[in-house]
Each structure stands twice: as C-alpha cells, then as structure tokens.
Structure 1
C-alpha cells in the first residue's frame, strides 16, 4: 500500500467518525427501504420504514429467534428474501466456542467488501505506526482454514478467515508477504499444519518482521511434531527445504538455553510486533506472551465477529489492558442496551461486571452512549439481522470525534453460578489475574484456565481448571510436585477475595462451598482445543471457553487433573 493510499484511508476514518450520527441514520434508512417487503420485516412494519416504528415494533432477538429463517434458507426451503433482498453468496460459520453452538450468518457481496475494508483500515494503521513492513520482510502468522460446509441450498458455509484465505487477492500476495505456503494453511491436520508453518517461519527467520495469529491462544500453541504425512505439506516443504547445518546448529543453541524468556526475539530478530487479539478473554495470555516475546509490542488490531466488522484499535501500541476500540459507524446500525448493575474498572484497568439485567430498558443510539457505562451491543445489518443481540458486553471509555470507544467486558451468556449468584466472564478474569500473581515467586506461569459450576453436591462450588508450567527452560510440569500446597490454597482464597459481593456473601452464609482449583497436565488445553476443532470450530477463530458447559469437554479436563486445592477460609467481606 502506497503512502498516499494509507493516508487517504485514515482520512476517510476521520470523516466517518466525525459524521457518525448522519451515517448511522442513512444506513438504517437504506437497510429498511431495501428490505421492508421481506417476510420478516413485513410482519412488524407492514411496508413502513420509520425509525421509531422500527424500534417500537421489531423485537430485540437472539440467534435462536432468527435461526428458523436462516435454516429455511440454508435448507433450500425458502428464498433468502425472507430476510433480505440482496442475494447471498454464502454463510459465515462462527466457531461456537463463545456461544456454545456454531451459527450460520448470511453473507452478501457487500458484507464481504466491508470485511475486506476492515483489513485495509488495520493495515493503514500499522503502516502509520511501523512503516510499510511489506516492503522489508514477511509475516509469520499461524493461519488455519476449515473445509467449507455445503448447505442443501447450494451455498457454502465457512469461517470468516477461511473465506478470506480463499480469495484470489490473498493467494496472490501469500508467497511474497507470508512465510506459510497455501498448502499448510489448508492442511486438515492442525498439528501438522502448525509444525510446518513454524518450520517455514524458522527457515525464513531473517525475513520475518511480524509474528501473529487471530487470537493470542493460537500464538502460544505453536509446537513441533516429528511426523508429517499430509501430501500438501510435504510438497510445499520439498520446494523450500535444503540442508543448512549452520542454521540448524544456531536454532539448537537458541532453543537449548536455560530460559526461554525472550526466545521470540532470538529466533526472529527482525520482528517489530506480535499481531494478535490480546483483549477480553485473551488477556489471560499476555503475561506468557510478554515472557516469550521480550518486550515486543502486542498489537490487538481490531474487533470483529461473525455478525460484522465492529471496531478498530486506533492506538496499536497501547498495552492490552489499556486498549479501547473505536466503533466503525458505517458497517452496521447499532443500538445499545444499558447494563443497569455495577460496571466498574479496578486498579489494573480490568472491568468488573456483577450482573447484567436490562429488562424493560430502552436502547441507546450510537452517538448517545455515555462514558463509564456498560452496554450490550445490538446490530441491524445489511445481511438480514434486525435488532440482533451479538451477545457482547462493552464498557464505553470515551469518544474519537463523535464515535464511541470501548473496552470489551465479556459475553452476555457466559456466567458462572451455582445458586442465585451470577459471576461474569470479566469477574472470573479479574479474580484469576489477582491469584496467578502468587505463582511468580515459584517461577511458574499460568498458561490457560477455564471454569465450571459444580452442583453435584450441596452446596455447589466453583471449580477453576489451571494449566501451569515453569518459566525456566522448556520442561513440562507433569506431576504437580513443584506446586506448594499452601501457595495454591492462597490462590484459591485470593480468587474468592476478588469476586463480587454477592459471591462473598453467599460463601459466608455457606450457600456456596469453597472454591476449588484443579491443576491439569501440560497439553490439556490443547486437547480441549482439539475437541472443539473436531466439533467444527476453526483453529484460527478458536477461543478457550471461560466457562465450560459441555460434558464431553469437562470429561477431557477432569481426566487430566493432577492436583486439587480448596480455599481454606471464607473470603474477605469488606472489599
């Protein structure tokens, strides 16, 4: 991208964020005028396109409400114009790891262009802050594609990332700008794919200027395998692999060092930043990434979901905990449901959300949200979603021009509870962050965690699964003998002290039993990821669930537990 091109893109961003109100009004008007005669909107608006009538008559819905319409389209039993007039070119297939089940979201040519525009906007911001790195090196990104699913109507459903990788424009730039060959990205075996992508990245180590993946968890799962049987990967390897004893000796020396602190910079010395989402649920991985990356910036570039391109990070050099995303007012029409209960930011800039009921609350337009307030996002999109609950909770942190900026708080439908209390994703993240600091003096790192509410006995209690490994070297903590029981019990208590008032009150009254930490073997969360991938999740889009609801997933975790610890006291009541 030429300098004048990226500057024009950033100028356009300034214009749309300044004229947010007008753009939002025009977008809604265009969506309603185009689709007023569809079966869905006809039932509520009767050919009318008035905004106030739209908000009064069209219900706020979840995916479950519109799923019958989408299923009719996908199954070939109805034309797509029951939801929207514009022809569909396919369906976006969500990972299912956030909401529980994969979703089919209609895609049009227009929505595909909007997604591509988000990529150009992100690239323009990277050029502004780092220069045009495409002119000086390559990106080593762990990229994974899933096979398309052909629906009965003939349209294909695929992950957003897979659709992007199949575009001819991406394939044209791949050899020049990326270290991973096409065959490795589309390898059906994720372990072989990961191994080969790392191998090609190491062979081209002197060219690598950017490292990353969609989510931070994927960056940390880069491991090697000693067997490659995939024909595509073998063919790609045969074209680039040549004997290089000098490089092999160098890599062996680097990897055999006592500590892997800063190993990324040693292996890829020209790297300028790590590009991966480190906010929200991915914030748990920042400490480990910082350990391995030796001070490289961790860049969370944008905020997107299967339902649309939502926001961009205008300050990519911000620390992950400080990142605020700026909403893009020209992609979908937004409404916001205020969260009535407490939504506060602690000293570590992490948002705590206690409960989130907004019954009988009127929605707020984009330009009228208030800084410091938490909201649930609703979208009305050109792809047939009307007043649709994305399921994400955000906290407004300010404005860029006339467009709000926000931090991601958590998922609306992700809540841990064993009685009448409800503990949000943000509450769990904060409590884990407080507790894992106690591992530092032991030279240990918490690599991943998840949770579930155990109600198999009365009273029920919270179970937190932790995967832990030592900072020094690359040895596995396989048997848990390095763990100090007293410190681990303190971790349990620290988590309870950090949870919200309702939880602590219920614990005091013995309505909830002591919190339990179950330490699992190294590699457990990789096995959990493999399970979700076999169920249809794309590795590029995979996010470790903060709360486990699947019995099969729970069995994977429980079968690998190596130690259990309980809080020895009731939590402190005065914080």
Structure 2
C-alpha cells in the first residue's frame, strides 16, 4: 500500500491525513493482509503459517520477537542468502540501528519501495507545517544534516544508518523543487564524509544566507547543540572567510569547496562585521534569533532522551518554538506530529496506518514504584508487562501505556521495537501517542543507548582496579550530564576502604583507569560517538562520601517509595536527587583517552 503526497498540494496533503486517520483500522487491516499474502511462503513465515495466509492465523501462530530472534535470518542475507527467506520483495540494503546487539549495531532489512514510503512521510510534513506557520515558502531552512560510515556486507549489500541511506538516495537528491525543501546546505556539504569539514561548510553557507533563513535545525537536539558549540569555537575563522571571500585551506574536500564558493562568491565585510558583533558578546543567549533574525522555529527531536537538552535549546533560541515533527526509527517510520507547535512536554505523534502494521503490548507502572520513577529515576523501567494479548491500533485506550510492536513490508514480523508509548488521545479514529522512553535504556547522550545490564557489566570490569587502592565499590548510580557540549556520562561511586585510608585521597591514575575501562566495556555505538563523532565527552566518575546512598534512599522514601521495595535507581535526573549526590562528592576523575573504536566490518 504505497501512497504518494505532492508537497506542493497543501489541500491534498491535509485530505490524505484526514483519510488515513478516519479510516485507520481499515488501512491497518489492509496492510496486514498485504504483508501476509505477499510473504506467507517465505522461509520465516512458512515455518509458522504452514502455507496459510490469513490474518487470524498470522496473529495466532507468529510469535512476538526481539532482535536476537531474527538476527540469524538477517545475517544470512548479509552473507549471501536470498531476500526471500524473510521477504518476497528484494532487500535493497541493511539499515544499521543505533541500538546494539553483542556490541555491534543491529541491522534492519529495507527495500526500494520502503524508501518511497519514507519520502511520503517527509512530504506529508510540508502541508502540516504550512498549516501552522505562514510564509515558509519565502525562504530557506538551515538544516544541519550529516552522513555516517557505511560498510559492504559479504553479499554485496550496503549496511548504513537510515538517514545516511536517505540522504544518499535519489529521493533526497532529486526531491521536488519547492521552497520548503530548499536548504542553505548544498547536498555536497551534507554528503561530505568528514564530519568536521561538513559542519564547517554547512555553517558557513548558513551564515552567508542568513537573511533567507526561516527555520533552523538538525535531526537530534544533541546534534544541533554541537553545531552551536562548533560555531562558538570557529566563528572568528568563519567571519574571516566571509570577509575575504575564501574558504579555509583545511577544507580539502573538493566538492565541499566548490559548493561553498558557489554561494560565497565574493568578499562581504559588512556581513562578517555583523556576525562578529553578535558572536563577540559575552552571552550567547538568543544567538539563533540574533544571527538568523527571520527564524520562525527550531526543528529538532526533543522527545525521549533528547528532552534533557530543552533548557539549552531554549537558552540559545531565545524563545523560538522547538518543533519535533516526526517519530521514526531504523525499523520503520511511524508517524508525525499533527500539532508541531505544541510544547515539547505535550508532543504526541499520530501513527500513520499505511506505514506498517502496529500492535501494542499493554504495560503498566508498578504501583509501588510510581513515585520513585518520578522523583528518582530518569529513564528507569518502572513498568511491567501485562498478561493481556497485544491490541490493534484502533483498540488502544487513552492513558494506557504500551510497548510498540511492528510488522513491516520489509521483512520484520511482530517485532518489539522497544519503545514505551502512552496514548494521549485520538485524531479522528487514529490514536496519538507520547513517547515515554526506550525499554531498559538508562543512559543516552546522542544516538547511544546504554541499558542497565551493559552499565553493570562495564562497572564490574572497571571495579577490579580498586583492589590496588584497598577499597571496594558498595553502591553506584549514573546520570547524563548535558550542562556542557558535548554531554557525558557521570557515574557516582560510593567506596568503602578495606583497611586504613581516606577515599578523598585516591590515586588519580587508578581512578582514571577505571573511567577508561568503563568506556572500553560499553558498546560499539557509545565508543563511536566518543572516539570518532566526538558527540559524547569523556566519562566521569564522582566518588561520594560514605552514607550518600542511604541519604538517597531516605529522600526517595520521603517521596512515597516503599522501604521494602526500594531499589537504588541506576540513573538519576531530577534536581533534588542530583543535589544529594553532588553535595557529597569528594573526588572527580575523567577518562583521559578515547576508547578503542574501529569501523564495523562483517566477517565473510
């Protein structure tokens, strides 16, 4: 079921949304029927359906699965087996997810048709934004977009992140010529594989065209803030380039240089002086509106783990609306925000029923842990699975929490995405969902997703170094520190001396080795973000004095947690609990070296 949307046609686009949401259940049943009929004889489905192709048999016989259940099939395709083991449409490439399995990126199948489905969703965003913001066709968007490394699998398929796949596709490069899709960044600067050169050239182009910019943004809030930090570090050089009409010599990518010079063209001292007068100010509060005065909003994802960046975005944007337009992942593009100017805390997404077949596993907050969840844990999983069967899109209930399960046209069947959502209401007959968090994820700064087990394993590896100091680790928790750019992981450790000694006088080299070991023990995506992308700063261990975690428990109990059911939260985010920890810090130590990282390669 492949629909198309003309981004020029505002009325037609809104009519499509009305049709999809009014007939959500019909579209869902139609897409499930299409998937099952088309793929019933694949090796994967045939093992459960035994030749049947009806929807009822599918839901009765096909199990709900995690990545480890389907990983062998995807690896077989990567190593040369035909696509037909999971899909009767050819698998065109594999999309590497920011989630990991065994320390390596997950790989999700995709097809050429699915690229058109993603393009449909992007095009549908245009009439939605035009409904709420006037005049967007009178200027450009300064969107800072980047590509990531890719690999070739033994079968010859390319494996790469979903956005890299889209930016390198003809769907992106030959997108319809309309003002909404005109960016200040030439495609060659977006497609530059050197992240620093790409960032510099995109910012330079954005500054040159400042008077035409009506909206700014990046995919994730973290990426946009890194761009602001990059601008803080390089504005003098950028102004010099504009003043002299040249591009710095260290920009060696010939396509980038040529694309920038097509925009720079000649020296512009007046523009350089204006930018310099804003950047030289002591405070960068409101710098977005000052440098790009016509900007109407900042478009970045600020839901989920990205919500931690909202205060910094508000500081730099000077009160501009923060807009999260869509909800998507490597597995599937899910839906859009039909009220894009709503406050970040109120953002809900409407799942588009033609994108995939959606099911929802009911989950509920553990009754005794609700207050602990709110007061102490940042992204903790204070949810338990209900015994009920999964429900269809049309049958979810307002206020209920669910875990999202998808069946796609690309070869995923009843796959648990790992996202916990809450139903906030309905638009026509289509439910709207608020993203709550990723299941089991406790720490995230950028595209990294560190769960509680991975954190425990990394700390277990690191704490062996403490033996030489004559102390042991008695308790720990963590927190993502986004007060600086880039953000970094903070671990709070309470130590106990075995013999005589003072924990405030620990050997710095040993503690730094602990930091390094934790980082080396975390997964591929974290190490890539730290070592290559530089989107995560050095990990920090803060040693707290004896009794700190008792004080933390006392506070959580005072907020309503049960003494009998209390468990130390493994991630702290709220101010009160952070103050309890920070007031008792007696030593701070940082990792001094980047963790080992090399591009992921598949063995033949």
Alignment match, 1:139: 141
Match of 1:34 among 29, 35, 38: 38
Q: What pairs with 1:25-424 in structure 2 (closer than 5 Å)? A: 25-76=29-80, 78-96=81-99, 101-133=104-136, 135-172=137-174, 177-222=182-227, 223-224=230-231, 225=234, 228-232=250-254, 233-241=256-264, 242-342=266-366, 354-358=381-385, 360-415=387-442
| Conserved? CA contact 1:335–1:365, under 8 Å | yes
Please give the per-residue CA displacement for 1:126-146, whole angstroms capped at 9, x wherever unaligned: 11111352x311111111013
1:147 CA displacement: 4.3
Q: Quick one: structure 1 residues 202 and 50, their matched pair in 2 at CA, closer, same or farther if it must change by over 3 Å?
A: same
Partner residue in 1 for 2:446: none
> How is 1:427-506 mapped onto 2 (pairs within 5 angstroms)?
454=459, 456=463, 457-469=472-484
Kept in 2, the 8 Å contact 1:396–1:404? The answer is yes
> Any idea what SS the aligned residue of 2:276 has?
helix
1:574 aligns with 2:597: no
Tell me by how many angstroms 1:538 deviates. 13
Q: Check whether the contact 2:14–2:127 (CA below 8 A) recurs between aligned residues.
A: yes
- For 2:167 and 2:531, how far apart are their aligned partners in 1? 13
**d(CA) in 2 for partners of 1:121, 1:335:** 23
**CA deviation after TM superposition for structure 1 residue 302, in Å:** 0.5
Alpha-carbon distance, 1:98 to partner: 10
Name the SS of the counterpart of 1:379 in structure 2. strand
Cα distance, 1:398 vs structure 2: 1.1
Separation in structure 1 between the aligned mates of residue 477 and residue 96 of structure 2, nearest angstrom: 32
Post-superposition CA distance 1:402-430 (Å, at most 9, x none): 111111111113248xxxxxxxx9999xx
3-state SS in 2 of match to 1:331? coil
Q: In structure 2, what is the Cα distance between the partners aligned to 1:543 and 1:390? A: 24
Aligned residue-pair number:
484
Please name the residue that 1:483 is paired with: none
User: Is the CA contact (8 Å cut-off) linking 2:380 and 2:442 kept in structure 1?
Assistant: no
- TM-score, normalised relative to structure 1: 0.75
Specify every segment of 5 or more residues in structure 1 that has no aligned partner in the other structure, as ranges: 417-424, 429-449, 471-475, 478-487, 493-519, 545-552
Range 207-216 or range 183-192, more displaced: 183-192
| Counterpart mapping for 1:492-531 below 5 A | none
- Provide the C-alpha distance between the structure 2 equivalents of 1:351 and 1:146, rounded to a whole number of angstroms: 29
Local SS of the residue matching 1:235: helix
Per-residue deviation, residues 496-518 of structure 1 (Å, max 9, x unmatched): xxxxxxxxxxxxxxxxxxxxxxx
Determine helix, strand or coil for the equivalent of 1:357.
Answer: strand
Aligned to 2:12: 8
Tell me if the contact between 1:334 and 1:377 (Cα under 8 Å) persists in the aligned partners: yes
Equivalents in 1 of 2:98, 2:451: separation in Å? Answer: 23
Tell me, what secondary structure is at the counterpart of 2:215?
Answer: strand
Q: Per the alignment, in what secondary structure is the counterpart of residue 370 of structure 1?
A: coil
Cα distance in 2 between the residues matched to 1:426 and 1:535:
13
What is the CA deviation profile of residues 459-488 of structure 1, one whole-angstrom value per residue up to 9, with x for unaligned ones?
322032525359xxxxx99xxxxxxxxxx9
1:532-547 aligned within 5 A: 532=525, 535=528
Distance change (3 Å), C-alpha of 1:31 and 1:320: same
Cα distance in 2 for partners of 1:119, 1:379 equals 20
Cα distance in 1 for residues equivalent to 2:276 and 2:539: 33
8 Å CA contact retained: 2:105, 2:525:
no
Q: TM-score, normalised by structure 2?
A: 0.71
Please state whether the residue corresponding to 1:102 is helix, strand or coil.
strand
Give the drift of 1:285: 0.6
Matches of 1:530 and 1:276, distance apart in 2: 25
Counterparts of 2:202 and 2:85, CA distance in 1: 43
Question: Cα distance, 1:249 vs. partner?
Answer: 1.3
Structure 1 residue 458, shift from structure 2 partner: 4.9
- How far did 1:536 drift? 8.6
Q: Residue 378 of structure 1 contacts residue 388 of structure 1 at CA under 8 Å; is this kept in 2? A: yes
- The offset of 1:563, in angstroms, is 8.6
Deviations 1:65-97 (A, max 9, x none): 111111111111x21001011122222222337
Q: Where does residue 601 of structure 2 map in the other structure?
A: none
The 2-side partners of 1:36 and 1:26 are apart by 15
Gap change, CA 1:289 and 1:22, over 3 Å in 2: same
Q: For each residue in 1:354-392, what CA deviation from the matched residue of structure 2 results, as whole angstroms up to 9, or x when unmatched?
A: 533327541111111111111111011111111101111
Classify 1:392/1:543 alpha carbon distance in 2 versus 1 (closer, same or farther; 3 Å): farther
Query: Which residue of 2 is the match for residue 447 of structure 1?
Result: none
Contact 1:410 1:426 in 2 (8 A): no
Note if contact 2:103-2:524 (Cα within 8 Å) is conserved in structure 1.
no
Check whether the contact 1:302–1:325 (CA below 8 A) recurs between aligned residues.
yes
Deviation at 1:47, TM superposition (A): 1.0
Once residues 99 and 371 of structure 1 are traced to their aligned partners in structure 2, the CA distance between those partners, rounded to angstroms, is: 36
CA RMSD of aligned residues (A): 4.0
SS at match of 2:116: helix
Provide the rounded CA distance (Å) in 2 between the counterparts of 1:148 and 1:426.
22
Structure 2 residue ranges without an equivalent (≥5): 238-247, 444-448, 464-471, 493-511, 560-604
Query: C-alpha offsets along residues 220-248 of structure 1, whole Å, 9 cap, x if unaligned?
Result: 00104566343233333333333211111
Q: d(CA) in 2 for partners of 1:152 and 1:530? A: 23
Counterpart of 1:21?
Answer: 25
Rg bigger for which structure? Answer: 2
- Report SS of the residue matched to 1:37: coil
d(CA) in 1 for partners of 2:542 and 2:531?
A: 29
